[in-house]
Amino acid sequence: MRREMFTGSAAVAVLLLTAGCGLAEKPPGQANAVQPAGDSKKVGSVYGADGGDGAYGAGSGADPAYGDGGSGADPAGGAAKNGPAGQLKVAELPELGAAVTDSEGFTLYRFDKDTPKPPKSACEGDCAAAWPAVAADDVTAGEGIDAGLLGSVARADGTRQLTLAGWPVYRYAKDAKPGDALGEGVGGTWHALGADGKPAAAAKAPAQGAGADPGAGAGAGAGAGAELSVAQNPMLGGILADAEGRTLYRFDKDSAWPMKIGCLGTCLDTWKPAEPVDKSKLSGIAAELVGTVKRPDGSEQLTIDCWPAYTFTGDKEPGDITGHNKQGLWFAMTDKGKKAKAAH
């Protein structure tokens, strides 16, 4: 591939590519390369670090605990509590279809990294703060729920968690009101719960390989173990998330044609270049759009249709979008590498 380097007074590196961008597999060692230019700090992967000093859109002044761009849920109340679910119900949720809710109408979830046989929860510690376990006490089966599928599993702290068809049941702390389903698709491993224990949207999920069963458990199905997936956000629609559920962003001072890296120096204190992913572990995104670029410090960065992808240190929980529209320069990315736009 022929390359042509342009230099200028600004501390950015530019690369012209003579072939189509992000549309073909490149041989090993032939990733799009950006030559060193300017100061570039070592890339880190700190999630939930200090949002920085305002450089490149940091420091909005909003409380970052649950994100100023999310649902606004109070982590101390409502759906964040791990109390009894009361009488379970089946409700029709937009774009998801029939899903299980508690007696107040809050959506219930399952985690692909759990196992149903035997029942076992893989969500502890910080995970359990974002995804409160539903207590097994005082739960009954309403219309559409098979009482024979209800059970419980002992958690590490000695409490008993509700199970449905063997799958441990959770709420999502960012669901602020009945009918919210902000947890659907987070990290490619969290799904609204169907009455049979499978993901509620399993029938509507895009196929990611012949014979994939979205309800088969950890390591199977489109969402299980995904390193890059499409998460549904109520404000922005489908946006990209990494394996930990962190929103991925693009920067207007970067470009895909010609290839340009504009986030260098102190910018990297706040915006962390996303690491490359395994193309066999994608959910909801075309593999030919996924690539990498070599940064000035020699590290490899994930690209989506040649747009470099970043995470934002101001995002504290999976699904946060606090970096969206920062300084009018940073935007959550769609599965096509485009800027996500607020739904009208």
Secondary structure (DSSP) of 4-29 = EEE--SSS-EEEEESS-SSSSPPPTT
CA-angle at 150, arms to 146 and 154, nearest 5°: 170
Q: Which tokens in the block code for residue 240?
A: 């990209």
DSSP3 helix / strand / coil % (the chain, rounded to 5): 10, 30, 60
CA–CA dist 144, 243 (Å, integer): 33
pLDDT, tens digit only, all 344 positions of the chain: 433 333 333 334 333 333 446 443 343 333 444 433 333 333 333 333 333 333 344 333 332 222 333 333 343 344 446 678 899 999 988 778 899 999 999 999 999 999 999 999 999 998 999 999 999 998 999 988 999 999 999 999 999 999 999 999 999 999 999 999 999 888 888 999 999 999 987 544 443 333 333 333 333 233 447 899 998 888 898 999 998 889 999 999 998 888 789 999 999 999 999 999 999 889 889 999 999 999 998 899 999 999 999 999 999 888 899 999 999 999 999 999 999 987 65
DSSP reduced 3-state for 98: strand
Indicate the pTM of the whole model. Answer: 0.46
Helix (H, G, I), strand (E, B) or coil at 162: strand
